[in-house]
C-alpha cells in the first residue's frame, strides 16, 4: 500500500511540473504576441512617416521582449529615417547580436555606416548580408552603392585638399547630394550662396538638388542664375533645357539645346535631348534625324537607340524599330524594356511567335510587368493557345490586385536601394 501511494505522489509531482511548464510557455507566447502587436503598429507608423510614434511602439515591444531581433531592426530603421545614425547603428547591432544570420539587419547596418562615411564597415556588412542571402538584390545594390560612394568620398577629400579655395559648404552639400539627402544639400548650397552669391558651383548644384526633388521651377531659376554668372557654362545650359523639358516646355527646351549645338555641334548628349524635345512636340522626322546623327557620332549610345525605336514605332516603321531595339540589346541583353518594346514591334508586324518570345523574356526579367503579361496573353490568344493566354491573364490580374492590396496596407520593403528595410 505504501509503495502504491509513493508512486502516486511521484505522478502528481510530475504533473505539477508539466503544468508549470505549460503556464510558462503560455506566458512567453502571450509576451511574444503582445510584442509583435506593438512591432506591427510601429511598422505602420514608419510607413506613414510618423516616426516618433513608431519609436515609442518599438520601445514598448522591447520592454516586453528585449531580445526581439526584428524589433531592434525596425527601431534602427526609425532612427535612420530621423537621421539618428548612431542610435540606428546600436539597434542594428543588437538585432544581429540576437540573430547573427539576420541578413536584412546586416544590410541596414551597412546603410547606417555609409551615412557616417564608414565605408569599409558598410561594405563588410553588405557582404555579410549577401553571404547569408545571396539572392538579396537590395543588398547587392547597396553593396554597389557603398563601393561607389567610397570612391566618390575619397576623390572628394583629395579634391578638397588640392582645391582649398572651394567653399567647405559645397563639399558638404555635394556629399549630401550624392547620398540622396536633397533637402540637406539644398540648405548647404543656399548657405554658401548667402555668404558668396557669385559661387557658380553652389548655384549649379542647387539646381541639380531641386531637379532631383522635382522642384523644376526652382531648378530653372538656379540654372538661370548660374548662366548669368557664367554664360558659357554648357552643363548648366543643358540642365536648364532638361528642366524645361521636364515641365513640358518643349519650345524653351529646344531653344536652349539649339543654342548649345550652335556653339558645340559635336555635343551628342545635347543632340539626343533635342531629338527628345522634337519627339515630344510630335516632330518625329526631325527627331529621327537627330537620334541617327547622335548614333553616327557615338555608335554605343544605347539611349538613342531606345528613343529611335520608340519614334519608329509611332511612325509605323516596325522593321526599323526592330533593328533599333536589336542593336540596343547587343549592348544590354538583359534590358526588359528593350525586350518589351521589341515584342510590341513584332506584334505590330504580326510576327506573333517572335513577339511571344520577347514578352516572355520581359516577364522573366520583370514578373510584375502587367503590360508584358497582358500582351503575352493577347499574343497567345492570337495563336489560339487559349490555356496559355488564360494563365497569363490570371497572372496579370493577380499582380494588379497585389499592388492594390499593398497600397492599402503597410509595406515592409522599399524600392529605393538606399532605404533601410522594416521587417515584421
> In this predicted structure, what is the pLDDT of residue 409?
42
- DSSP code at position 198: T
Round to whole Å and give the CA distance between 225 and 203.
Answer: 7
What pLDDT is stored for residue 10 in this prediction?
29
81-104 burial, b if ≥16 CB within 10 A, otherwise e? beebbebbbbbbebbbebbeebbb
168 and 133 Cβ atoms separated by less than 8 Å:
no
CA angle 78, 81, 86 (to 5 degrees): 80
Phi, psi of 231 (to 5 degrees): -60, -20
| Residue 282 DSSP code | T
Give the number of residues written for the chain: 424
Which grid cell is 372? 508584358
How many Å apart are CA 145 and CA 136, to the nearest integer?
15
Query: Grid coordinates standing for 131?
Result: 553571404
How far apart CA 288 and CA 378 sit, in angstroms, is: 30
Q: Which fold has domain 23-146?
A: 1.25.40
Stated as kind and residue range, the H or E segment containing 57 is helix 51-64
Q: Grid coordinates standing for 132? A: 547569408
* 416: DSSP letter: S
Q: By C-alpha distance, which of 251, 167, 246 is closest to 212?
A: 246
Q: Would you state the pLDDT for residue 12?
A: 27
Cell of 92: 542594428
**DSSP states along 404-417:** HHHHHS-----SST
pLDDT for residue 366:
86
- The pTM assigned to this predicted structure is 0.58
Buried b (16+ CB within 10 A) or exposed e, 374-384: bbbbbbbbeee
pLDDT of the residue at 16: 40
Each of the 424 residues of the chain gets a pLDDT tens digit; together they read: 333 332 222 222 323 444 555 555 555 677 888 989 999 998 888 888 899 999 999 999 999 999 999 999 999 999 999 889 999 999 999 999 999 999 999 999 999 999 888 999 999 999 999 999 998 888 888 898 888 888 777 766 666 555 556 777 787 888 888 888 899 899 989 998 998 888 888 899 999 999 999 999 999 999 999 999 899 889 999 999 999 999 999 999 999 999 999 999 999 999 999 999 999 999 999 999 999 999 999 898 888 999 999 999 999 999 999 999 999 998 888 888 899 999 999 999 999 999 999 999 998 888 888 898 999 999 999 989 999 989 988 888 888 876 665 544 433 333 333 344 555 4
What pLDDT is attached to residue 331? 83
Q: Report how far residue 35's alpha carbon sits from residue 64's, in angstroms, rounded to the nearest whole number.
A: 6
> Cα–Cα distance between 31 and 10 in angstroms, integer?
32
Domain 301-400 sits in which CATH superfamily?
Answer: Tetratricopeptide repeat domain (1.25.40.10)
Measured between its terminal Cα atoms, the distance across the chain in Å is 58
Among the listed residues 85, 52, 56, 81, the one whose alpha carbon sits nearest the alpha carbon of residue 71: 56
* Three cell numbers written together for 382: 492570337
Other Cβ atoms closer than 10 A to 229: 14
Cα atoms found within 13 Å of the Cα of residue 346, Cβ hemisphere only: 20
Q: Which residues of 202-226 are buried (b: 16+ CB within 10 A; e: fewer)?
A: bbbbbbbbbbeeebbebbbbbbebb
Give tens-digit pLDDT for 299-335: 988 889 999 999 999 999 999 999 999 999 988 888 8
Domain borders along the chain are 23-146, 301-400
Q: Which tens digit of pLDDT belongs to each residue from 374-401?
A: 999 999 999 899 999 899 888 888 888 7
Q: H helices then E strands: how many in the chain?
A: 21, 0
Q: How many CB atoms lie within 10 A of CB 353?
A: 9
Please, are residues 337 and 369 in contact by the beta-carbon 8 Å criterion? no
Are 23-146 and 301-400 in the same CATH fold? yes
**Nearest CA among 248, 245, 247 for reference residue 272:** 245
pLDDT at 310: 94
Amino acid at each position: 500500500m505504501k509503495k502504491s501511494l509513493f508512486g502516486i505522489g511521484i505522478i502528481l509531482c510530475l504533473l505539477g511540473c508539466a503544468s508549470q511548464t505549460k503556464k510558462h510557455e503560455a506566458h512567453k507566447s502571450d509576451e511574444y504576441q503582445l510584442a509583435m502587436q506593438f512591432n506591427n503598429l510601429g511598422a505602420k507608423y514608419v510607413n506613414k512617416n510618423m516616426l516618433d510614434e513608431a519609436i515609442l511602439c518599438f520601445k514598448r515591444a522591447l520592454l516586453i521582449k528585449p531580445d526581439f531581433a526584428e524589433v531592434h531592426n525596425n527601431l534602427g530603421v526609425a532612427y535612420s529615417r530621423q537621421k539618428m545614425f548612431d542610435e540606428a547603428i546600436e539597434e542594428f547591432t543588437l538585432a544581429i547580436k540576437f540573430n547573427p544570420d539576420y541578413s536584412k539587419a546586416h544590410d541596414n547596418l551597412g546603410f547606417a555606416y555609409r551615412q557616417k562615411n564608414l565605408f569599409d564597415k558598410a561594405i563588410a556588412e553588405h557582404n555579410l548580408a549577401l553571404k547569408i542571402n545571396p539572392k538579396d538584390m537590395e543588398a547587392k545594390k547597396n553593396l554597389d552603392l557603398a563601393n561607389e560612394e567610397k570612391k566618390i568620398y575619397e576623390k572628394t577629400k583629395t579634391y578638397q585638399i588640392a582645391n582649398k579655395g572651394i567653399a567647405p559648404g559645397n563639399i558638404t552639400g555635394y556629399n549630401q547630394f550624392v547620398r540622396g539627402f536633397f533637402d540637406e544639400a539644398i540648405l548647404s548650397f543656399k548657405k554658401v550662396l548667402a555668404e558668396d552669391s557669385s559661387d557658380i558651383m553652389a548655384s549649379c548644384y542647387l539646381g541639380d538638388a531641386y531637379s532631383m526633388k522635382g522642384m523644376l521651377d526652382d531648378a530653372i531659376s538656379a540654372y538661370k542664375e548660374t548662366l548669368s554668372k557664367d554664360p558659357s557654362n554648357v552643363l548648366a545650359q543643358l540642365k536648364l533645357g532638361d528642366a524645361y523639358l521636364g515641365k513640358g516646355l518643349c519650345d524653351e527646351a529646344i531653344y536652349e539645346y539649339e543654342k548649345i549645338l550652335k556653339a558645340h555641334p559635336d555635343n551628342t548628349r545635347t543632340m539626343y535631348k533635342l531629338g527628345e524635345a522634337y519627339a515630344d512636340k510630335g516632330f518625329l522626322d526631325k527627331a529621327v534625324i537627330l537620334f541617327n546623327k547622335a548614333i553616327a557620332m557615338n555608335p554605343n549610345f544605347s539611349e538613342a537607340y531606345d528613343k529611335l525605336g520608340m519614334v519608329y514605332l509611332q511612325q509605323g516603321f516596325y522593321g526599323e524599330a526592330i533593328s533599333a531595339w536589336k542593336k540596343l540589346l547587343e549592348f544590354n541583353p538583359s534590358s526588359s524594356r528593350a525586350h518589351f518594346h521589341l515584342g510590341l514591334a513584332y506584334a505590330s508586324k504580326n510576327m506573333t511567335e517572335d513577339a511571344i518570345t520577347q514578352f516572355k523574356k520581359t516577364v522573366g526579367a520583370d514578373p510584375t510587368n502587367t503590360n508584358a503579361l497582358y500582351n503575352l496573353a493577347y499574343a497567345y490568344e492570337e495563336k489560339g493557345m487559349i490555356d496559355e493566354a488564360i494563365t497569363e491573364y490570371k497572372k496579370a490580374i493577380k499582380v494588379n490586385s497585389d499592388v492594390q492590396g499593398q497600397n492599402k496596407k503597410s509595406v515592409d520593403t522599399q524600392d529605393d536601394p538606399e532605404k533601410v528595410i522594416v521587417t515584421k
